[in-house]
Structure 1
Amino acid sequence: MGVKALTRYALVEALLELAAEDRRLRATLPYGLDPADAEQVEPELTGTVEALRDWLSTAAPTAVAERLRARLWPAARPAPCAPWLRPRRSRG
């Protein structure tokens, strides 16, 4: 038997799913950007963090709760199973 723990990372995943709808966070990185060059990545990362921070300040708890419920509710109710141990019948 196991228990699925709900973690703060589940909230992060729901937030990122919702943030993907923001046009600033979906913007294409500059053509020719070398992802291995930290100096080229830095300004893009800074701009992305700022856009994400702006978006996070407006995140709606209702929308996050709906995402969590949609993802986790079906997994929360396992199918019934037969008892693991059955009482022994006494012979007497």
Structure 2
Amino acid sequence: MSTIPNNAMPMTKDVEYLNSLRRQEDVRIEKQLEAKRLEEFNNKKIILSELMLQKYYERLDALALYNRQKQLERAQAEQGRFVDIEVK
């Protein structure tokens, strides 16, 4: 009957310990990668939100300009109508 030498047992414990360390390192690396992916995703969302807000304000400015122009045209039309009434 063969027996396992006493010095072989610490060797298997060392291998298990090293495997455990390797798994812990893999988990740590995966967490770092996930955090980096999440940060990049959030940065993209922030940039997209800023661009959408910029376009929104540009649209508001365009509408404000349009409204001012229409108010001026309406005021000029009102003045013209009064002039036509006074001339007749």
Do Structure 1 and Structure 2 share a fold, with TM-score over 0.5?
A: no
TM-score (norm 1): 0.24
Choose between structure 1 and 2 for higher RCO, CA contacts under 8 A separated by at least 6 residues. 1
User: Which structure shows the bigger proportion of residues in helix conformation?
Assistant: 2
Pick the structure with greater CA Rg: 2
TM-score (norm 2): 0.25
